[in-house]
Amino acid sequence: MAVLLRRVPVRVLASWLLALGVLGVGRDGAAQQVSAAELKAAFLINFARFADWPADARADGDPFQFCVVGDRGVAAALEQTIRVHPSPLSMRVAVVKIDAGVTHCHLLYASGIDGRQAAQLTEIVKGLPVFTVADSDGFAEHGGVAQLIEERGRMRFAINAAAAQRSRLALNARLLSLATLVKDVPDATR
């Protein structure tokens, strides 16, 4: 089932990307093109910026762990953005497999997964403070926290606030105001 998502206003997305340095401005003042991987990385970093994890999610001094399944391009874009724009919070990026290493993630992005894999992923991290994001159809409605959708050259996202709550994540009202809010479908694994 396709999810209809509200568009992120261009000025908001552009300000996100400019703030992260993902979107450059040329000499003529025009915005430069970004790759899909860079755009997804910008969304993921902003999801992390506009969410709060419970105190027990990270020991003092431990880095914030971004994990990526199935898209090394997004992992590389995350690493580049973190390197170019360091944060006061130490951050790391790891490429992981669905069945290995995902329980140590703070924000987990999975690309190109099918419904069975999505269900497996949400089951593995069930009850853990992991912000799950995927680009597969219906991911947020089936228990994921967020879903990225590329449609007609534009990136959109949906948030499942109930899934975030189950993961003990507090989402900023600003993030929620930009998202299309979706609810769990009746047969979703929880």
Establish if 190 belongs to a structural domain.
Answer: no
Range of the domain at 95: 10-181
- pLDDT tens column, 50-61: 999 999 998 777
* pLDDT at position 155: 92
Count of domains for the chain: 1
The long-range contacts involving 87-91, CB below 8 angstroms and separated by at least 24 positions, are 89/63, 89/64, 90/61, 90/62, 90/63, 90/64, 91/63, 91/64, 91/65, 91/66
* pLDDT at position 100: 87
- pLDDT tens column, 67-91: 999 999 999 999 999 999 877 778 9
Q: Average pLDDT of the chain?
A: 83
Q: What is the CA radius of gyration of the chain?
A: 16
Which CATH number belongs to the domain containing residue 112 in this structure? Answer: 3.40.50
Supply the pTM of this predicted model: 0.81
The packing angle between helices 36-49 and 10-20, to 10°, is: 90
* 149 compared with 13, residue with greater pLDDT: 149
